[in-house]
Amino acid sequence: MKPSLAKGTRDFTSLEVSRRKYIINILQKNFELFGFQPLETPSFENLSTLTGKYGEEGDRLIFKILNSSINEAKDDKKTQMLNDFQKALDKPFSSENLTDKALRYDLTVPFARFVAMNHGKLTFPYKRYQIQPVWRADRPQKGRFREFYQCDADVVGSESLLQEVDLVQLYLKSFAELKVSVTIHINNRKILSGLAEYAGITDKLIDFTVALDKLDKIGKDGVVKELLEREISQESIDKLDFLFNQSDDALENLLQLKEKFAGNETGLKGVEELEYVITQSLNLGVDIQNLVFDITLARGLDYYTGAIFEVKADEAQMGSIGGGGRYDNLTEVFGVKNIPGIGISFGLDRIYLVMEELNLFPEEATSNVEYLFANFGGEETLEALKLIIRLREKGISAELYPENAKIGKQFTYAEKKGIKNLVFLGEEELKNGTVTCKNLEAGEQKTVSLEEFLG
C-alpha cells in the first residue's frame, strides 16, 4: 500500500521538533516564573465530560471513539452494532453502545473535570499550565489542523481581576521573548450581554454576537444584512450603530458605553471590569497599542462569563495565535460550584508558522551535532570514542561516523546533517597528542592540542 498521512496531521522533522521545543521551553519557563504548576490529563475523556461544553458547533467537531464493547461482542451482536454504527455516521451520535469516549477537544474542560474531582486536595487559587495535543474533526487549512498542541495557563479559585492583569503580562513577556510582535484584543462577556439588553435583543444574544464578530471580514453592511437575516429589527440595529464607529482610544469607548448603559447593571459591571484591567495594565507599562478593546470580540460565549482575550500577530496573516477568558461556571456542570476560573492558551502550531514566515527562529533552535569524528578504524576509532565521551560529559554533542569509509563519504554525511565540525584523530594526531578540526561552515582547518580542544 502507498503510505499516507491522515488529513489534518503532520510528521515533524528533527528541525521542526527542535524549533517547537524552542517555543515550548520559553512558554514553560514563563509559566513557571508566573507561579503556574504543570498538569497532564489523558488523551481521551468520557464523551459525557466533553459534550455540551463547546456549543453545538464545537460538539460536532469532537472526535468520538468507537466503543470497545463492539470488539468484545459475539460475532452476531458485533455485526448488528457495526451496522448501527454505519447508520449513525451521517447523523449525530446518540447511542451509548456506539461511542462513550472521545479525544479531548481542548485542555480547559479536562482541567475543569480534574478540579471538580480533586478540589478537596487543591490549594486555591490553583494555578496550572498544560502543554499537550488536542484533536478536532475540523476542515484542515493553513494554521488549522485536526491534531495540534495547546499550551494553557489557568487560575481557578479567585475572582480577582488581578489575574486578568497578570495574564496580559504573561502573554506580552512570552511573545516578546519569541520576538513576535502581537496585539492583545480584549472584551468582556458582560459588555456583550449589556449591548443585547440595551438594544432589546437579549433573546438574540448569540445571533447578535456571531454577526458582530464578522465585522472585520464582511464590513458594516454585511453585519447589518446578517442581523436582519437573523430576525433582529432595524430599530435595534439603529441603536447599535455606534458600534461601527469606535475610536482608537479604549478608555474613551468605555466611557461612551457607560453613558449607553445607564441603569444597565450587567453592562456597567462589564465596563467596570474591563476598565480596571486596561488601566492597571497601562500602569504596569503596557503600551496601549498592544492592548486593544475590541467590542466585536465574541469567542467562547457558551462558557466565558467575563474577560475575553484574543492575540493576533502584527506582521503575519494568521488569525489568532492565542486566546482565553474568564469562565466562572465551568466546574458547576460537574457538580462543584463556586470555583471561578480564568485561563489563556498559546497556539503552538500557529506561533510556529508565524515565526517561520518571519524568519524569527535563532540558530540555537536546532539540534545539530557539534562534532563528527572521522572513522579511521583500528586504534584511532577507540581513542576517538574516548574523546567523544569526554565531550559528552561536558554537554557537547559529538558522534563517530560508524564505518571506516572513504573520507569524502564522511564529509558528505556531515554536510547533509548540518554538523558544524569534522574532527580527525588519525595516526599522526595520536602520536603528537593533537586533534585536527575542520569547521565546515567557515572552511577553516586547524590542529590543536588535546587540552586546548577540550577547553
Q: Was 248 annotated as part of a binding site?
A: no
129 is in an annotated binding site: no
Can you state the angle between helices 205-212 and 215-229, rounded to 10 degrees?
150
Concatenating the DSSP letter of every residue in 205-264 gives HHHHHHHHTTHHHHHHHHHHHHHHHTT--HHHHHHTGGGGG--S-HHHHHHHHHHHTTT-
Locus of grid cell 503600551:
287
Residue 241 labeled ligand binder: no
304 labelled ligand-binding: yes
Strands 307-313 and 320-326, by their bridges, are: antiparallel
For residue 163, CA distances in Å to 115, 283, 341 come to 18, 15, 9
Question: Are the C-beta atoms of 257 and 271 separated by less than 8 Å?
Answer: yes
Q: Is 54 flagged in the annotation as binding?
A: no
For residue 183 the three cell numbers come to: 496585539
CA distance 423 to 408: 14
Cα–Cα nearest to 53, from 302, 362, 419: 302
Angle subtended at Cα 200 by Cα 196 and Cα 203, rounded to the nearest 5 degrees: 65
Residue 177: which of 9, 54, 28 has the closest Cα?
A: 28
139 labelled ligand-binding: no
41 is in an annotated binding site: no
| Residue burial 410-424, b: 16+ Cβ < 10 Å; e: rest | bbebbeeeebbbbbb
Query: Residue 393: how many CB atoms within 10 A of its CB?
Result: 9
- Residue type at 343? G
CA 341 – CA 167 distance, rounded (Å)? 12
Residue positions in the annotated binding site for L-histidine? 106-108, 136, 150, 154, 299, 303-304
Residue positions in the annotated binding site? 106-108, 136, 150, 154, 299, 303-304
